[in-house]
Amino acid sequence: MKKIILPFLIGIFSMAMVSCEYDNYEKPNVRLYGNIVYQGEPINVKYNDVNLQLWESGWDLNYRIDVTVSPEGAYSALVFDGDYKLIIPSHQGPFRSIENAETQSDTILVSLNGDYHMDIEVEPYYMVRNTQFSVSGNTLSTNFGLEKIIKDIDAKDIETVYLYVNKTKFVDFDARVADAALAAGDIVDMNSISLSLTIPELVPTQNYVFARVGVKIAGVEDLLFSAVEKVNL
């Protein structure tokens, strides 16, 4: 029996030592954060639709960190001090990347020694302007404008505009209790676009909703959005 117990205890001790080594392993403690912006104004997108990539150099194999952009256009990554390459993959977001002066490409070099705030400037195809929401009875309406930003060979047309409403701050075509749409051909004035919808019965009852405008740009997968706004009923 003693011959059996001794190897068993040695095995338990070894596992405990390995566990301590894992517990003592250094964890990422440096925060790289900021916003995707146009002239300092955040670009609003759908949650989990737009991602950045951080590539860490200095290892046998480059290590990629995927960073999700929030609906408000913010990003945040917890990493180690070191040198990184930040890339917005092609066809990500309702915008195009701006060439970085240092790399002569869309790659941004980032050297971290402690927490670092960095906004990333891009060129959106459009910007949603002057969004206003109003409620009358159980009808929610919005009026807004669209400013065309990219007007060169990469310019694109509007396909459809949407009004989304949800019970929570997550509002888009996957998270909504009601929506309305207007095709581009029915838009008379790009500076004054109106949409309305009927708010359904909310269960459980609440006296507010969250709303935002979405814009589908022709040839671009990811929608452009207005900021989420809380609307009292």
Residues 105 and 134 in one domain: no
C-alpha pair distances (Å), 14 with each of 4, 9, 25, 84: 16, 9, 17, 37
pTM: 0.85
Does the residue 59 lie in any domain?
yes
Q: Exposure pattern of 26-60 as b/e (b: 16+ CB <10 Å)? A: eeeeeebebbbbbeeebbbbbbebbebbbebeeee
Q: Which residue has the higher pLDDT, 115 or 3?
A: 115
Arithmetic mean of pLDDT, 123-132: 97
Neighbours of 74 (CB within 10 A): 15
Q: What is the pLDDT of residue 19?
A: 47
Choose the final residue of a domain: 70, 93, 124. 124
Q: What angle do CA 102, 107, 112 make, to 5 degrees?
A: 80
Span 203-230, pLDDT tens digits: 999 999 999 999 999 999 999 999 999 9
> Where does a domain end: 124, 145, 178?
124
**Overall domain count for the chain:** 2
- Asked whether residue 14 carries a pLDDT value surpassing 90, the answer given is no
By the 8 A CB rule, do 103 and 109 touch?
Answer: yes
The residue segments making up the domain with residue 154 are: 126-232
Residue 19 within any structural domain of the chain: no
- What pLDDT does residue 2 have? 44
Q: How confident is the model at residue 12 (pLDDT cuts 50, 70, 90)?
A: very low
Q: Does residue 144 sit in the same domain as residue 197?
A: yes
Higher confidence at residue 22 or residue 226?
Answer: 226
Q: Considering 75, 91, 124, which residue would you say is the last residue of a domain? A: 124
**pLDDT value for 101:** 87
Is residue 6 predicted with pLDDT exceeding 70?
A: no
Q: Interior CA angle at 42 toward 132 and 153, to 5°? A: 95
Q: Are residues 107 and 171 in the same domain?
A: no
3-state secondary structure (DSSP) of residue 23: helix
Sign (positive/negative) of CA torsion 118, 96, 173, 197? positive
Identify whether residues 222 and 131 lie together within a single domain: yes
Tell me: do 120 and 155 sit in the same domain. no
The verdict on 135 and 222 lying in the same domain is: yes
